[in-house]
Amino acid sequence: MSVSLALATEECLLLATMAYDRVVAISNPLRYSVVMSGPVCVWLAATSWGTSIVLTCMLVLSLRLRFCEANVINHFVCEILSLVKLACSDTGLSEIMILITSIFTLLLPFGFVLLSYVRIAAAVLKIRSAQGRVKALSTCGSHLTVVTIFYGAAISMYIKPQSKSSPDHDKFISVFYGALTPMLNPLIYSLRNKDVKGAMRKVMAKNGISFFQF
C-alpha cells in the first residue's frame, strides 16, 4: 500500500512539473534549454520523489486503525480507502488525514496545472500564424490527456465524503488512475515521436485505415 501511494503521489507531482515544462517551452522557447537544463530537471524530479515519499510516510504513520474479524479488502489491491472501511475502530481522524493529504497531492498540483494552461493559452493567443498555434498546442496534447484521466479519476475518488462512496464505484474509478493511465502513458507519449507515427501510418495504410494527423 505504501509503495502504491508513493507512486501515485509522485505521478501527481510529476504531472505538475511537466506542466511547468510546457509553460517554459511555449512561453519562452528561446530560453528553454537554459531554464530547463539538466541539473534543473534532475532537481525537479528528485523533489517530486522526495516529497511523495515524505507525504506517504506522514499519512501511513498517522493511521490509527484497529481491525476485528474481517480481514478481506473489497478491492483489487490494498487501497487505503478500502483499508479504512475495513477497520472496526473510529476512522474519523484517518479520513481527515487522507483528505488533507489529498488536498496537497491532488488539488494543489491540479490547480498549478490549470494555471499553467492558462498561461499557455495566453501565450498561444499571441502567436499570429494558425500553423504556429496548432504546433504549440500539439505539444500539450499528450500531457493534457494524461492529466484529464489521472486527476479526474483520483479527485472523484478522494475529494468526496466517504459516506457517499460505494465499493463497486471506487473499484471502477481506481482502474482509471491505477491501471489505465500507466498503460496508456507509453502509447500517448510515443505518439509524439515522428518515427512511431510514421510506422503507425505505414501499418494502417496497409490495412486501409486512415491515420489521424497529430
Give ∠ CA 110-48-191 in degrees, rounded to 5.
Answer: 70
Rounded CA-CA distance 79/89 in Å is 18
Mean pLDDT of 59-85: 75
Report the pLDDT value the prediction gives residue 111, as an integer from 0 to 100. Answer: 93
112-121, 142-151, 190-199: range with lowest mean pLDDT: 190-199
Tell which residue, 198, 13, 36, 202, has the closest CA to residue 108. 13
Mean pLDDT of 116-134: 84
Q: Could you tell me the sign of the dihedral formed by the alpha carbons of 196, 9, 150, 172, in that order?
A: positive
Report the pLDDT value the prediction gives residue 213, as an integer from 0 to 100. Answer: 45
Give the phi and the psi of residue 111 in degrees, each rounded to 5: -60, -40
Report the pLDDT value the prediction gives residue 88, as an integer from 0 to 100. Answer: 77
What is the chain's mean pLDDT, rounded?
79
Contacts of 40 (CB under 8 A, 6+ apart): none
Q: All domains of the chain, ordered by start, with CATH?
A: 2-193 (1.20.1070.10)
| 7 band by pLDDT with thresholds 50, 70 and 90 | confident
Structure-block grid coordinates of residue 180? 489505465
Report the pLDDT value the prediction gives residue 172, as an integer from 0 to 100. Answer: 73
Rounded CA-CA distance 214/211 in Å is 9
List strand residue ranges (DSSP E) for the chain, in order.
none
Is residue 214 a contact partner of residue 135, using CB atoms and an 8 Å limit? Answer: no
Percent of the chain with pLDDT over 70: 79
